[in-house]
Copies of this chain bind each other. A is one copy, B any other.
Amino acid sequence: MGESRAVHVTFEGEPPRRVAVRPGTTLLEAAHAAGVPVEATCGGRGRCRSCRVQIRKGPAPPPTLADRLQLGEDEIHERFRLACQAAAWEDLVVAVAPPREERAFQILTETRGTALEAVDPGVRKVLVRGFSGVREETAGARMEELLRQLPQPVGQVGVEAIRSGALLLRSPPEAVTAVLYEDRLLQVEAGDTTGELYGFAVDIGTTTVVGYLLDLREGELRATVAALNPQSSYGGDLMSRISFAQQDPGNVRRLHTRAIQCVNRLLEEACRIAGTSRDRIYKVVVVGNTIMHHLFLGVDPSSVGQAPYLPLVRTAVRVGAQEVGLRLPPHTPVLLLPLVAGFVGADAVGMVLATRIFESPRVRLAVDIGTNAEVVIGSRARIAACSAPAGPALEGAQIRWGMRAAQGAVDRVWIEAAVRYHVIGGGPPTGICGSGLVDAVAGLLEVGLLDPSGRLVVDPPPRVPEAVRRRITVLPDGQPAFVLVPKDESGVGEDIVVTQTDIRQVQLAKGAIRSGITVVERYLGLEDRDLAGVLLAGAFGNYLHLPSAIRIGLIPPLPQERIVYVGNAAGMGAQLVLLSEQEGRRAEELARRIEYVPLAAQPDFQEVFLRSVRFPE
Binding site for B on A (CB under 8 A): 136-141, 143-144, 154-159, 162-163, 165-167, 169-170, 249, 294, 297-304, 306-313, 315, 317-320, 322-324, 330-331, 342
**Number of copies of this kind of chain in the complex:** 2
B324 touches A323 (CB 8 A): no
B138 touches A303 (CB 8 A): yes
Give A477 to B581 CA distance when docked, in angstroms.
75
Q: A144-B310, A312-B139 are in contact. Are A166 and B323 (CB under 8 A)?
A: no
B311 touches A140 (CB 8 A): yes
Taking the closest CB of chain B, its distance from the CB of A290, in whole angstroms, is 9
Q: A163-B298, A323-B330 are in contact. Are A157 and B313 (CB under 8 A)?
A: yes
A299 touches B138 (CB 8 A): no
Q: A312-B165, A322-B322 are in contact. Are A303 and B249 (CB under 8 A)?
A: no
Taking the closest CB of chain B, its distance from the CB of A432, in whole angstroms, is 38
Which of A137, A299, A322 has most chain B Cβ within 10 Å? A299
B140 touches A342 (CB 8 A): yes
Residues of B within 8 Å of A141, CB to CB, are 303, 308, 310
B170 touches A302 (CB 8 A): yes
Give A158 to B297 CA distance when docked, in angstroms.
10
Q: Which of B138, B298, B308, B315 contacts A140 (CB 8 A)?
A: B308
Give A159 to B302 CA distance when docked, in angstroms.
16
Which of A144, A249, A331 has most chain B Cβ within 10 Å? A144
Q: A249-B167, A312-B166 are in contact. Are A159 and B331 (CB under 8 A)?
A: no
A331 touches B323 (CB 8 A): yes
Residue of B nearest to A161 (CB): B313
Q: A144-B310, A157-B315 are in contact. Are A139 and B170 (CB under 8 A)?
A: no
A312 touches B156 (CB 8 A): no
**14 interchain pairs, CB-CB under 8 A:** A138-B303, A138-B307, A138-B310, A139-B312, A140-B303, A140-B312, A141-B308, A143-B303, A143-B313, A156-B318, A157-B315, A162-B297, A166-B312, A320-B320
Residues of B within 8 Å of A304, CB to CB, are 138, 140
Taking the closest CB of chain B, its distance from the CB of A27, in whole angstroms, is 49
Taking the closest CB of chain B, its distance from the CB of A188, in whole angstroms, is 10
A138 touches B317 (CB 8 A): no
Residues of B within 8 Å of A299, CB to CB, are 159, 162-163, 166
Residues of B within 8 Å of A312, CB to CB, are 139-140, 143, 162, 165-166
Give A19 to B141 CA distance when docked, in angstroms.
65
Residues of B within 8 Å of A320, CB to CB, are 320, 323
Give A167 to B253 CA distance when docked, in angstroms.
13
Q: Which of B155, B303, B324, B342 contacts A159 (CB 8 A)?
A: B324
A303 touches B139 (CB 8 A): yes
Which of A139, A169, A294 has most chain B Cβ within 10 Å? A139
Residue of B nearest to A188 (CB): B312
Give A137 to B306 CA distance when docked, in angstroms.
8
Taking the closest CB of chain B, its distance from the CB of A162, in whole angstroms, is 5
Residue of B nearest to A166 (CB): B300
Residues of B within 8 Å of A300, CB to CB, are 139, 163, 166-167, 170
Q: Which of B159, B167, B302, B324 contacts A319 (CB 8 A)?
A: B159
B317 touches A159 (CB 8 A): yes
Residues of B within 8 Å of A249, CB to CB, are 167
Q: Which of B143, B298, B303, B342 contacts A310 (CB 8 A)?
A: B143
Residues of B within 8 Å of A157, CB to CB, are 313, 315, 317
Residue of B nearest to A153 (CB): B315
Give A306 to B163 CA distance when docked, in angstroms.
17
A166 touches B294 (CB 8 A): yes
Residue of B nearest to A139 (CB): B303
B163 touches A302 (CB 8 A): no
Residue of B nearest to A311 (CB): B140
Q: Which of B136, B298, B307 contacts A307 (CB 8 A)?
A: B136
